[in-house]
Structure 1
Amino acid sequence: MARGVIALDLASKHFGDRPVLGPIAFAVAPGEAVALTGPSGAGKTTLLRILAGLDRDFEGSLSAPARIAMVFQEPTLLPWRDAAANIMLTTGADAATAERLLGEVGLAGRGAAYPGQLSLGQQRRLALARALAAEPELLLLDEPFVSLDPALVEEMLTLTEAVLRRRRAASVLVTHSRAEAERLADRIVTLGGSPARIVSEERP
């Protein structure tokens, strides 16, 4: 298997008696952006959760960096804490770092706003800022632009593209959108079959 920031040699993943993922050899090089695509139910999010260390119930081996951050499909923010606290409480970042990160994602001056006072697009920006606070070696994004209107998708794509370029962290993006994959990824990996496997890999 190729060496990388993260390397997975998966034999299988089951939910009960049902096989979900078959043999998969997957690695991400330092600074590389990879998009995971495929039909609904192909196991993209399951694979991402394995990479994140959130699902350890699989057969195989995983070599992962110490610092991994994940941006979930839903922002998963603390509604009873303001934006700055959502960053600081979950990552240990100080107030100055939180304010800098809010500025980096276009939320400068919104540190005192609560999640319920933010639009969905702004909540997604806050979730990204929280992930960046971990200074991740690997950033995992699970359909971060879903449910946004086209104008907001374009804004978030531009923001994410800029963040990945500045940070030079490796990243894995789960998306159903070919346009998003081509925009953000150096390599597109498509899952398919049952149980799911890698059916194609290409450069956009």
Structure 2
Amino acid sequence: MTLDLLTPLAGFGFGLSLIVAIGAQNAFVLRQGLLRKHVLAVVAVCALSDALLILLGVGGAGIVFTALPWLTTVVRIAGAAFLLGYAVLAARRAMTPKAMDADSPAASSALLPTLLTCLALTWLNPHVYLDTVVLLGSVANTHGEARWLFGAGAAVGSVVWFAALGYGARLLQPVFAKPVAWRVLDAIIAVVMVGIAASLLLGL
């Protein structure tokens, strides 16, 4: 019983260690949380995507990426191209003060484009496959028959993190009441996106 309890807790902690970092997906969730636009949908997409990737990893899909290195290369190039495009948009927002107001038309976005952006930031990032499918999957499989409990714990960790990030962002609303704060955030997002895209193209 104790072992059965510790295994999902280990998965929970390991899963959080992989996703609690500054990255393209987290930056997007944070921004949507600050804007209070489609937060539930974005959190759901991120959490469900992570759960599916974890499922694939625990099921042994990481072998595919190990056996087909060209697949990782294709995803890396596509992801880098998308991130650079998103970085340009963030940079434009940072240079346009009127776009920083959360209630302005420029800050609003329809649900479908928002979800497509969220999906792209998640699934076109090769790091998510290396971390979630390969690394987490490998660690989960060291737990033998309890590997699914480990994976379940990791999936719960994703839900907790994305929900906290998306809905906890509103606590920063007083800070982002000023347009300059939005400009700084988008400037940081642009830099992060460019940095991640560069690391993908360099194969890091």
TM-score, normalised to structure 1, is: 0.24
Structure with higher helix content: 2
Higher relative contact order (CA 8 A, sep 6+): 2
TM-score, normalised to structure 2, is: 0.24
